[in-house]
């Protein structure tokens, strides 16, 4: 991984935080915004506020930092070449549109496919997580302790939402089987419906780990940076080292990560 030598990552983190702060009130005011743009299959959609916030965030980041921006709604430069911002203006859009306050704004700086900075803003809960991958993670300006090793049996784990009838790389029935086996070995399972929330809570030690079966870089890169900064372990569901092109993300405290990968591997996966 190489970061442009002229980049001041501490200043960039401050700039990114200021940009997210500047739109936090608009994010709060728009809670409950209806679907405006249908995206792909599975009932995915964006609201008009998704589009508005991404335009504002991207423009401000380019103006402040001179670095290109790749957003969920409008795309941008390649996410695996050089340094680029990756933004998800509203993560957990279903939750947001329904008025459920488990949703936030995600932003990462990646360099050659690896996370450098991660920010997850949860304005409806007054929580602001940010970090350089070398740590520590800050929540509302206060440094959080590094994650300590923990056992799965004592843990609460976030699990990505899915359709049991779906096919693809990670078939729905396989996810059901993994969930069933996980339920036998873990203290509690939670399905928040927001990858950003899952990963921020993992970095903070609120939960001990999370599994997401999606590979969108705007969903995964910010949380990957936060969890790594907290001393956690990140990979894809097969245990391969995580990059911005990975098809999934498993992030957890030391110890828990190994147990999660073992459970994922224990269930036969057919397509």
Q: Judge if 219 and 97 occupy the same domain.
A: no
Give residue 1's pLDDT: 43
pLDDT tens for residues 102-118? 999 999 999 999 999 99
4 is a domain residue: no
If one counts the domains in the chain, the total is 2
pLDDT tens for residues 186-213? 999 999 999 999 999 999 999 999 999 9
Q: Judge if 14 and 131 occupy the same domain.
A: yes
From 143, 166, 194, the end of a domain falls on 143
Give residue 38's pLDDT: 60
Q: Judge if 161 and 138 occupy the same domain.
A: no
23 is a domain residue: yes
Q: Give the mean pLDDT of the chain.
A: 93
From 96, 123, 143, the end of a domain falls on 143
| pLDDT above 70 coverage of the chain, percent | 93
Name the pLDDT band for 73 (thresholds 50, 70, 90).
confident
Domain of residue 117, residue span: 9-143
Give residue 40's pLDDT: 55
Q: Judge if 114 and 22 occupy the same domain.
A: yes
Q: How far apart are CA 90 and CA 74, in angstroms?
A: 13
Q: Judge if 258 and 224 occupy the same domain.
A: yes
Give residue 2's pLDDT: 47
Name the pLDDT band for 5 (thresholds 50, 70, 90).
low
Name the pLDDT band for 95 (thresholds 50, 70, 90).
very high
Q: How far apart are CA 204 and CA 120, in angstroms?
A: 11
Give residue 33's pLDDT: 80
From 84, 108, 143, the end of a domain falls on 143
pLDDT tens for residues 29-70? 999 887 655 655 555 657 788 899 999 999 999 999 999 999
243 is a domain residue: yes
| pLDDT above 90 coverage of the chain, percent | 86
Contacts of 37 (CB under 8 A, 6+ apart): 45, 46, 47, 50, 51, 73
Give residue 49's pLDDT: 87
pLDDT tens for residues 124-176? 999 999 999 999 999 999 999 999 999 999 999 999 999 999 999 999 999 99
Q: Judge if 120 and 38 occupy the same domain.
A: yes
Q: Judge if 164 and 262 occupy the same domain.
A: yes
Q: What is the residue-wise DSSP string for the chain? A: ----TT--HHHHHHHHHHHHHHHHHHHHHTTTPPEEEE-SSTT-EEEHHHHHHHHHHHHHHHHHH---EEETTTB-S-TTSSEEEEEEEEESHHHHHHT-S--EEEEEEEETTEEEEEEEEEGGGTEEEEEETTS-EEETTEEPPPPPP--GGG-EEEE----TT--SSS-HHHHHHHHHHHHHHSSEEE--S-HHHHHHHHHHTSSSEEEE----HHHHHHHHHHHHHTT-EEE-TTSPBP-TT-S-EEEE-TTHHHHHHHHHHHS----
271 is a domain residue: no
Q: Judge if 13 and 132 occupy the same domain.
A: yes
111 is a domain residue: yes
CATH number of the domain enclosing 177: 3.40.190.80
Q: Judge if 31 and 77 occupy the same domain.
A: yes
135 is a domain residue: yes
Task: Return the number of other C-beta atoms located less than 10 Å from residue 73's C-beta.
Answer: 20
Q: Judge if 111 and 161 occupy the same domain.
A: no
102 is a domain residue: yes
CATH number of the domain enclosing 61: 3.30.540.10
Q: Judge if 261 and 188 occupy the same domain.
A: yes
Q: Judge if 13 and 136 occupy the same domain.
A: yes
2 is a domain residue: no
């Amino acid at each position: 991984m190489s970061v442009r030598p002229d980049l001041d990552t501490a200043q960039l983190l401050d700039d990114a935080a200021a940009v997210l702060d500047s739109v936090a009130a608009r994010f709060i005011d728009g809670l409950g915004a209806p679907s405006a743009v249908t995206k792909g299959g599975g009932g995915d959609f964006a609201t008009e506020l998704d589009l508005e916030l991404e335009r504002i965030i991207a423009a401000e980041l380019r103006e402040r930092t001179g670095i290109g921006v790749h957003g969920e709604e409008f795309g941008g430069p390649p996410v695996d070449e050089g340094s680029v911002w990756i933004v998800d203006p509203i993560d957990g859009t279903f939750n947001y549109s329904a008025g459920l306050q488990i949703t936030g704004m995600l932003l990462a700086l990646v360099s050659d496919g690896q996370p450098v900075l991660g920010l997850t803003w949860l304005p409806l809960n007054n929580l602001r997580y940010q970090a350089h991958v070398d740590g520590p993670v800050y929540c509302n300006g206060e440094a959080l302790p590094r994650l300590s090793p923990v056992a799965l049996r004592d843990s609460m784990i976030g699990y990505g939402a899915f359709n049991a009838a779906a096919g693809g790389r990670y078939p729905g029935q396989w996810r059901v089987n993994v969930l069933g086996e996980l339920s036998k070995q873990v203290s509690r399972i939670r399905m928040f419906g927001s990858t950003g929330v899952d990963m921020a809570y993992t970095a903070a030690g609120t939960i001990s780990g999370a599994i997401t079966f999606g590979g969108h870089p705007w969903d995964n890169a910010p949380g990957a940076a936060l969890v790594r900064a907290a001393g956690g372990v990140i990979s894809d569901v097969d245990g391969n080292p995580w990059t911005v092109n990975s098809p999934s993300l498993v992030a957890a405290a030391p110890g828990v990560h190994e147990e999660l990968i073992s459970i994922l591997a224990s269930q036969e996966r057919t397509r």
